[in-house]
Amino acid sequence: MADTIARANALEGRFLNDEGITLVRAEPSTRLSLRAPKTAVKSLSKALGLDLPQRPKASTAKDGRVALWLGPDEWLVIDETEADLVGVCASVTAFHSAVEVSHRNTAVLVSGPRCETVLNAGCPQDLSLVAFPVGACSRTVFGKAEIVLWRTGSDAFRVECWRSFSDYVFMLLEQAARDR
C-alpha cells in the first residue's frame, strides 16, 4: 500500500510579488458546497459552529472556517484547517445537500494596495471598500472564468476558482498586475 499522498496544488510554484500587488496560491483547504432551505439553516449553523450568513455578499468566519453566501439557499464553506466538513454536516437530519468540493476549487490570495484595480481588470463588480467591505463575498466573473471572491482585508482578497481555470485566472492576474 502506498503512503498517504500529499495534495498536488494546481498552482504549485506560482507566485508574483510586484509593486503594490502580491499573488500567492492559498494553502490546501477543505470545501463544502452547501445547499439548504431556511428550515435547515439553524441546525447546519450549529453543526458548523458558525452562523450561515443570510444576506447577499455576506460571510461568516470563525477559527479558520468561513461560510460564504452565494445564493438564498447556497453557501461555499471553506476550512483552512482541512477539517472534514462533510462529516460535520452528516449529523444534520433536516433536508440539505452537503457536497464535498475540496479539490474542485483552488484559490489565489491577492493582496497589496493595487488589489482592487488588478481584480477590476476582469471583475465588473464595484470593489471599493464602501460597496465591497472586508468580509464581503460574491460569485462573479474574472475575465472568462467564474470565481468566488472574498475580501479578507482592506487590501486582501481570496479568489476561488475551479481547478482547471486556475492557470487562466493566475495568468490574467499577472497580466493585470502589469497595467500600472
Partner 1 sequence: MTQPFRIATAGRLGKADPVRFTFDGKSFEGLTGDTLASALLANGVHLVGRSFKYHRPRGMVSAGAEEPNALVGIHRDAARRAPNVRATVQEIYEGLNAVSQNRWPSLSFDIGALNDLASPFFSAGFYYKTFMWPKAAWERVYEPFIRRAAGLGEAPDRPDPDCYANRFAHCDVLVIGGGAAGLSAALAAADTGARVILADEQAETGGALRYETGAMIDGKPGWDWAQAVAADLVSRENVRLLTRTTGFGYYAQNMVGLVERLTDHLASPAQDQPRERLWQVRARRVVLATGAIERHMVFPDNDRPGIMLASAARTYLNHYGVAVGRNVAVYTAEDSAWYAAIDLKRAGVAIAAIVDCRPDPQGPHVEEAQRLGIECLTGHAVNGTGGRLRVSSIKVGPISGGAERSISCDALLTSSGWTPAVHLFSQSRGKLAFDAETQRFLPGQTVQELVSIGACAGSVDLEETVADALKAGHEAAGASGNPPKLSSNSTERWSGGMLGAGEGAGAESTAKAFVDFQNDVTAKDIRQAVREGMRSIEHVKRFTTTGMATDQGKTSNMHGLAIAAEMLDRPIPDVGLTTFRAPYTPVTFGALVGHGKGRLFEPVRRTPMHDWAAAHGAVFEDVGQWKRAWYFPKPGEDMHAAVARECRTVRQSAGIFDATTLGKIEVVGPDAARFMELMYTNPWQKLGVGRCRYGVMLREDGFIYDDGVVGRLAEDRFHVTTTTGGAPRVLNHMEDYLQTEFPDLKVYLTSTSEQWAVIAVQGPKSRDIIAPLVEGIDLSDEAMPHMSVREGMICGVPTRLFRMSFTGERGFEINVPADYGCAVWEAVWAEGEKHGACAYGTETMHVLRAEKGFIIVGQETDGTVTPHDAGLSWAIGKKKTDFVGMRGLMRPDLVAPGRKQLVGLRTRDPKTVLEEGAQIVADPQAPVPVPMLGHVTSSYWSENCGHSIALALVAGGHERMGETLYVPMPDGVIEVEVTSTVFFDEKGERTNG
| Residues found near partner 1 in the complex (CB under 8 A) | 1-10, 28, 33, 35, 73, 95-105, 117, 120-126, 128, 131, 143-145, 162-165, 167-168, 171-172, 175-176, 178-180
CB of 63 to partner 1, least distance (A): 23
CB of 49 to partner 1, least distance (A): 22
Can you name the residues that pair with 106 across neighbouring β-strands?
Answer: 161
For partner 1, which is the closer residue by CB, 90 or 153? 90
CA 102 – CA 29 distance, rounded (Å): 7
CB of 120 to partner 1, least distance (A): 5
For partner 1, which is the closer residue by CB, 80 or 162? 162
CB of 55 to partner 1, least distance (A): 20
161 Cα distance to chain centroid: 8
Q: Per this entry, what is the length of the chain?
A: 180
Amino acid at 64: G
Cell of 68: 460564504
For partner 1, which is the closer residue by CB, 39 or 54? 39
Give 125's contacts (C-beta < 8 A, 6+ positions apart): 131, 132, 138, 140, 149
